[in-house]
Each structure stands twice: as C-alpha cells, then as structure tokens.
C-alpha cells in the first residue's frame, strides 16, 4: 500500500505544468506597473544597435544601427529606436527585447512605427520562455505609431519583433516593461493531482474498512 501511494506521489510530481501563451493586443493595458522603461532619447544617428541597452533592458538588433532621429515624428520630438537593417547581414533579423538581469517579463508595451511610413504595416513577433522555447508568435497591424502590447501571466524571457518586409525597419519608442510571473498548474494538471488525491484517500478508506 505504501509503495502504491509513493508511486502515485512520484507520478504526480512528474506531471508537467503548462506554460501560458503570450497574448498580443493593441493599445495600452499589457503593463499595469512599469518596472523598467526606455525612451531612447540619448540615441544618435548611426549609433550601433547590435548590443544596445537602456534602463536595465537589452534592445538589440544584429547588424543594425540607428538610422534617423525622430522617426516617430510628432509623437515624440526626441530620439526613438529606429533601425536600419540593410547595412550588414542579417538584413531581416529580429529586434530582441529582454531584461539585462534575466528576469522574466509579464508585460511589454510600446509605440511602434516603421521606416516604410506604412499605416497598415504588418509586423512579426514571437516570445521565448526561460528555456528559449517559443511560447507565443504571430503577426499584427496597428495604426502608425500606435501602441502594441504583449502579456503572459507566467512571464517570458524575450520578445522578438520585426517588420514583415524584406528587411527589418521597425521603429520603437516609449518602451515599458512589467517584470515577474506567477506560474500555476493548468486545469488539466490540477484535475489530475486532485484525482490522485481522491484515489489515495479512497484506497486508505478501503484499507481501513477491510481491516475492520
């Protein structure tokens, strides 16, 4: 009996906890508490963006540099993060956003534009969990310089984004990040654990009844 209960406990401990999928949305709301932020006001034309960091965040794009100040126009009269991805390979690499300390992000939001000046530009995105596994991906379109957000209650380690064009020409400003996560078992795992608990209780009751 003890061996059976021990086996059930071991099996329960091995049940995987599912990881929530990242959700993309238009407008504010993905970040409720701003823990880290970047406004890119110190960037100058032709500054390298390969390993750019600001405000505890890494916003890096392989083979790219800051192309032109104030791509966002009247939205922000100062600098923004606008890559010129056509200088060296890879021309269409993602722009990667992560926390320098390695902390998970539960929410990210920012104004987004593009060097094409296209009001209906398509963007590609994906997020990676702490193991580097993709836990969300897709495409979206928002009005030029509108706000886009990404959220995941379990947190994600990295957000990758680029324009859905021949080379990445994304522009980002007013980046806000909320850190932390609260991972919980999914309903399936919870139900399985509860089921095993009832099974153990039933077996114990059956054993007592048998002895009596």
Residues 6+ apart with CB under 8 A from 190: none
> pLDDT band at 198, cuts 50/70/90?
very low
Say if residue 180's pLDDT is above 60: yes
Return d(Cα 80, Cα 38) in angstroms, integer.
Answer: 9
Q: How many residues does the chain have?
A: 212
pTM given for the model: 0.76
Say if residue 182's pLDDT is above 70: no
Q: How confident is the model over 97-120, as pLDDT tens digits?
A: 999 999 999 999 999 988 877 888
Q: Flag the least confident range among 66-80, 107-121, 180-194, 198-212.
A: 180-194
* More confident: 101 or 91: 101
**Helix pair angle (2-14, 187-211), 10° resolution:** 180
Would you list the domain boundaries of the chain? Answer: 1-18+186-212, 20-184
Please provide the average confidence, as pLDDT, over all residues in the chain.
78
Say how many C-beta atoms besides its own lie within 10 A of residue 147's C-beta.
18
* More confident: 180 or 128: 128
Q: What is the CATH number of domain 20-184?
A: 2.60.120
Nearest CA among 13, 81, 89, 23 for reference residue 53: 81
Q: How confident is the model over 28-83, as pLDDT tens digits?
A: 999 999 999 999 988 888 888 899 999 999 999 988 888 765 566 555 656 788 87
pLDDT at position 177 is 98
Per DSSP, the residues of 82-105 read: EEETTSSS-TTPPEEEEETT---E
State the alpha helices, DSSP H only, in the chain. Answer: 2-14, 187-211
């Amino acid at each position: 009996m003890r061996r059976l209960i021990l086996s059930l406990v071991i099996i329960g401990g091995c049940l995987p906890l599912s990881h929530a999928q990242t959700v993309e949305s238009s407008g504010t709301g993905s970040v409720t508490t701003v823990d880290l932020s970047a406004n890119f006001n110190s960037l100058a034309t032709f500054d390298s963006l390969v390993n750019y960091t600001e405000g505890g965040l890494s916003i890096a794009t392989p083979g790219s540099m800051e192309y032109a100040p104030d791509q966002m126009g009247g939205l922000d009269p100062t600098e923004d993060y606008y890559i010129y991805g056509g200088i060296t390979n890879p021309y269409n690499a993602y722009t990667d956003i992560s926390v320098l300390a390695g902390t998970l992000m539960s929410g990210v939001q920012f104004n987004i534009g593009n060097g094409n000046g296209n009001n209906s530009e398509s963007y590609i995105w994906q997020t990676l969990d702490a193991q580097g596994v993709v836990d969300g991906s897709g495409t979206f379109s928002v009005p030029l310089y509108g706000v886009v957000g990404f959220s995941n209650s379990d947190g994600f380690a990295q957000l990758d984004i680029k324009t859905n064009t021949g080379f990445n020409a994304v522009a980002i400003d007013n980046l806000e990040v909320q850190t932390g996560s609260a991972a919980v078992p999914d309903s399936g795992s919870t139900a399985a654990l509860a089921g095993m608990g009832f099974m153990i209780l039933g077996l114990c009751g059956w054993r007592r009844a048998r002895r009596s």
